[in-house]
A and B are shown apart, each in its own frame.
Chain A
Amino acid sequence: MSDTNDVKPSRLEPPPVTRRSFLSIASLISFLAAMGTALAGVLRLPKPTVEPGPVRRYKVGHPEQFPVGAETLFAEQNFVVRRDAAGVYAISTTCTHLGCAVARTAEGFACPCHGSKFAANGRVLAGPAPRPLPWLEISRAADGQLVVYVDREVPEGTHFQA
C-alpha cells in the first residue's frame, strides 16, 4: 500500500500473500490446542465420577459374625465370605466369562449362562470361563467391621487375619 497508485491491480496479477506466515501458524496452533483441550474435557464427561448405585465397597460386619468353616453369600453384591483356620477370604460370584452370576452347587459354582463350572475355591473345572473366580480384597474399616472391595482382586489363597 506504499505506492502512489490508488488503483488496485486486477486479481489476474495476484498479490504476493504470505500464506504460511507466522501469524497463520500461531493462530492455527492455538486454535487446535483450544479445540484439543475442549475435546479432552468433553471426553471426560461420559465417564462416571461416582457409582450411581451403591458403593463398590461393602461393610459386611464384624469378624465374629463369620465363624470358622461358615460361608456367607452376599447375593446382591455377588460374593461369598468364608472363614477357615487361616482367616477370612471373599470370592466373587461373577462368572469370569461374560459376567453372569454363578450359582452355588455341591462341587463349587456353576454358571447358568454358558455352562462354566468352578471349584469351591474358584478354580475353573469346565466351560468357557478363561480364569478362576477372583478372590477379593478384605480389609478392616475404622470402626472394626470387615470391608470387601468388589473391584480389587487379590491372589488366590490370600487370607485376611481377623
Chain B
Amino acid sequence: MGTTATIPEKTSATQEFLDNLRQLPRNLKDAWFRLGRLPESEREESQATFHNLFLHLHSVRVHLRTLRPSLTLGLGLIATFSFLVLVITGLLLMIYYKPSTALAYQSMKDIHYVVATGRFIRNIHRWAAHIMVIAVFAHMARVFFTASYKKPREFNWLVGLGLLVLTLALSFTGYLLPYDQLAYWATTIGANIANSPRELTDALGITPYFDPGGFQKRLLLGANTVGEDSLIRFYVLHVFILPLLLVILLSVHFWRIRKDGGLARPEDPPGGLAEWGGKLHRVFEPLATKTYGLMAVVRGRRPPVNRGPEGTVMSWPHLLWAELAVLMLTIAVTLVLSFYIDAPLKEIANPAVPENPAKAPWYFLGLQELVSYSAFMGGLVIPTIAVLGLALIPFLDRRPGGEGLWFGTPGERTVAWQSLLFGLVCTVGLLAFTVNFGWLRNWFPEIHQLWIIAINPGSILVLLFAGWSLWTLKRKNSVRLAAVALFTCFLVGFVVLTYFATVHRGPNWQFYWWPSQWPVH
C-alpha cells in the first residue's frame, strides 16, 4: 500500500514515466490484490468481504448459529454450487453438442467416446442435475421445518418457489437434448401432461372452441409431436432462457437473505445471556465510548439500537471456509458418482418403437403415477394446488415464533411425526387398494370421464391431506401446526409416489415388486 507516497513532488515527466514503468509489476499486483496479503485484523477482514464484488454478498459478520451445520445442512449452498457445476460443464458440453435431430445423438456418442474428458464431464452434468433437484427440494423442506419463511421472509419464500420451478424446468428441458429413446419418450409424456386440460375440455365437449391443453403442448413442442422444432425450443430454454431467469432469481434470493437479516434465527435477548450450542454467551452491549462502523452493525430488519452483534464471528474466513467446504463436498460427491456411474444414453430416438415403460424424469414420476389415474387432475390440478398451497404458507401462517429452529413451536415435532405416519398410511393404502382392486373404470366401464377426473386416488389423497390438516388446525388450535401437518403429508405423498412409480411400475404401468421381474419386451 501507500504507492501514492512514492510519487515525488517535482520531477520530469520522463522520470515519472520511467519510475512508473519500474513500479509497474508491483502496482499491477496492488491493483489486483488491494491488501497485498491475507487480512490480519478484523478491520481488514471486513474490507476483504466488503470490497469484493463476489464476497460482498455476505455480511461482514455471521452469526454462529448460521454457521452450525445442523441448521441449514448446507442445502442451499449445495443447490447453488451444483448449479455452478452445471453451468461450467454445460458450457463445455455445448462445444460439442449439436442441437439437431440428425446430429444430436451422434454428438452424444462423440462426447462419450472420443472427446477428451467428455464422458466424465457429461456424467458430472447429469449427476449435478440430480443433486441440484434433490437439494432444492430438501432446502425447501428445511426452510419450512425451521419456520424460516416467516415475516419478513415471505417474499424470499416465493422467490425460492420460483427457483424450484425453474430447476425442474431446467432439468426437464435437458432431458430431450441427447435425443435418445429415453429423451424422446420422457419428453413426449411431459408434453402430454401439458396437454392434459384436454381431458376436461373433451369431457365437456368444448375442445374445438377452448383448448388450453393443446395450446400449451404446441407452445412447448412447436408441433404436435416431439421433433426438430421441439429440440430447438428445449435447447434454447435449457441453455439460455431458463439459466438466465434462474441467475436473476438466484441473485434476488441471495440479496433478500441479506436484506432480511441473514438466515432466520431466534432473537438474542439484548444485554443478557443467550443460549446456543448448549452454552451461555454474553450478548454484546455497545459501549458508549466506542464508535462502530456501519458495516459491523447493520443487520436485522431494523437498526439494532441498544443491541449488538453478539454470537457472531467474521465472515472472512469462517463463512468462507464453510462455503468452500460445501463447494468441495458437492464437487467430490459428484465426481465419485460420475466416476462409477455413466449418464444414461439409450438407442437413438425412434417414434415407431415406444419405450415400455416410458417414464418421465424421476422427479415427475410421482406426478406420472397420479396422471395414470387422471391426466388432468394429476398433471395439472394437483400440482397447481400444491404450488399455490406452498406459495400461500407464509401468508396464512403469520404468527412469529420458532424461526431458525427445527420444529421450533411447541408440539410441532409430534404433529410432524403423526402427519408422516398419516401420510404414509394414506398413500401406501390408496396405492395398495388401487393396485389390488382397480378404480372406477374397472368397476363401471361406461362411467363418464368427469367422474374419473373428480374422483380418483389423487384427488382423494389431496382431500385426505386437507382434512387431516383442518383437523389439526381445530385440534391443536395453531395455524403453524396445521401447515406442518399439510406440508409433511404432501412431502410424504411426493416421496412415496415417486418411489412407487420409480421402482414398482413396470411395462404397461403394471405393478411389479421389483424391476428385475419386468418381462423382457
Direct contact of A and B (CB under 8 A): yes
Residues of A within 8 A of B (CB): 6-12, 14, 19, 24, 31, 34, 38, 41-42, 44-50
* A residues near B117, Cβ cutoff 8 Å: 41-42, 44-45
Which residue on chain A has the smallest CB distance to residue B124? A38
CA distance A44 to B40 in the complex (A): 38
* A residues near B341, Cβ cutoff 8 Å: none
CA distance A9 to B284 in the complex (A): 10
A39: min CB distance to chain B, Å: 10
CA distance A123 to B331 in the complex (A): 56
CA distance A131 to B313 in the complex (A): 66
The interface stretch among B22-30, B184-192, B273-281 is B273-281
From B38, B92, B114, B279, A6 is in contact (CB under 8 Å) with: B279
* B residues near A41, Cβ cutoff 8 Å: 117, 120-121
* B residues near A50, Cβ cutoff 8 Å: 114
Interface flags for B18-43 (1: CB within 8 Å of A; 0: not) read: 00000000000000000000101010
* A residues near B310, Cβ cutoff 8 Å: 10-11
Interface flags for B291-325 (1: CB within 8 Å of A; 0: not) read: 00000000000000000011011000100010010
B299: min CB distance to chain A, Å: 14
B137: min CB distance to chain A, Å: 27
- Pull 7 A–B residue pairs with CB atoms less than 8 Å apart, ordered by A: A11-B310, A19-B38, A38-B331, A45-B118, A47-B116, A49-B115, A49-B116
CA distance A8 to B277 in the complex (A): 12
Which residue on chain B has the smallest CB distance to residue A48? B115
CA distance A24 to B117 in the complex (A): 31
Instruction: Report yes or no: A9 in contact with B282, Cβ–Cβ below 8 A.
Output: yes
Residues of B within 8 A of A (CB): 38, 40, 42, 88, 92, 95, 114-118, 120-121, 273, 279-282, 284, 287, 309-310, 312-313, 317, 321, 324, 328, 331
Which residue on chain B has the smallest CB distance to residue A50? B114
* B residues near A48, Cβ cutoff 8 Å: 115
B64: min CB distance to chain A, Å: 10
B12: min CB distance to chain A, Å: 42
CA distance A38 to B95 in the complex (A): 17
Q: Are A31 and B88 also in contact (CB < 8 A) when A45-B116, A45-B117, A49-B115 are?
A: no
Additional 16 contacts, C-beta under 8 A, given A11-B310, A19-B317, A38-B331: A6-B279, A9-B282, A10-B282, A10-B310, A11-B309, A11-B313, A19-B38, A19-B40, A24-B321, A31-B328, A42-B92, A42-B121, A44-B117, A45-B92, A45-B115, A46-B92
* A residues near B95, Cβ cutoff 8 Å: 45-46
Most chain A beta-carbon neighbours within 10 Å: one of B280, B287, B309: B280
From A6, A10, A42, B88 is in contact (CB under 8 Å) with: A42
Taking chain A's interface residues, is the majority helix, strand, or loop, or is none over half, making it mixed? loop
Instruction: Report yes or no: B116 in contact with A7, Cβ–Cβ below 8 A.
Output: no
CA distance A24 to B92 in the complex (A): 32
Ranked nearest first, the 4 interchain pairs of A and B with the lowest CB-CB distance are: A44-B116, A8-B281, A41-B117, A49-B114
Instruction: Report yes or no: B284 in contact with A10, Cβ–Cβ below 8 A.
Output: yes
* A residues near B120, Cβ cutoff 8 Å: 41
CA distance A48 to B40 in the complex (A): 46
* A residues near B114, Cβ cutoff 8 Å: 49-50
Which residue on chain B has the smallest CB distance to residue A47? B116
CA distance A135 to B457 in the complex (A): 78
* B residues near A44, Cβ cutoff 8 Å: 116-117
A78: min CB distance to chain B, Å: 25
Instruction: Report yes or no: B328 in contact with A7, Cβ–Cβ below 8 A.
Output: no
CA distance A34 to B330 in the complex (A): 13
* A residues near B115, Cβ cutoff 8 Å: 45, 48-49
From A7, A24, A49, B281 is in contact (CB under 8 Å) with: A7
Instruction: Report yes or no: B280 in contact with A7, Cβ–Cβ below 8 A.
Output: yes
CA distance A31 to B273 in the complex (A): 38
From B38, B42, B88, B92, A14 is in contact (CB under 8 Å) with: B42
B315: min CB distance to chain A, Å: 13
CA distance A12 to B282 in the complex (A): 11
Instruction: Report yes or no: A12 in contact with B273, Cβ–Cβ below 8 A.
Output: no
CA distance A34 to B424 in the complex (A): 43
A49: min CB distance to chain B, Å: 5
CA distance A50 to B312 in the complex (A): 56
Instruction: Report yes or no: A12 in contact with B284, Cβ–Cβ below 8 A.
Output: yes
Q: Are A45 and B284 also in contact (CB < 8 A) when A10-B310, A34-B331 are?
A: no
CA distance A45 to B88 in the complex (A): 12
* B residues near A42, Cβ cutoff 8 Å: 88, 92, 117, 121
Which residue on chain A has the smallest CB distance to residue B85? A38
CA distance A10 to B114 in the complex (A): 60
CA distance A151 to B520 in the complex (A): 51
Instruction: Report yes or no: B312 in contact with A11, Cβ–Cβ below 8 A.
Output: yes
B116: min CB distance to chain A, Å: 4
* A residues near B88, Cβ cutoff 8 Å: 42
Instruction: Report yes or no: B324 in contact with A31, Cβ–Cβ below 8 A.
Output: yes
* A residues near B118, Cβ cutoff 8 Å: 45
Which residue on chain A has the smallest CB distance to residue B91? A42
CA distance A158 to B231 in the complex (A): 53
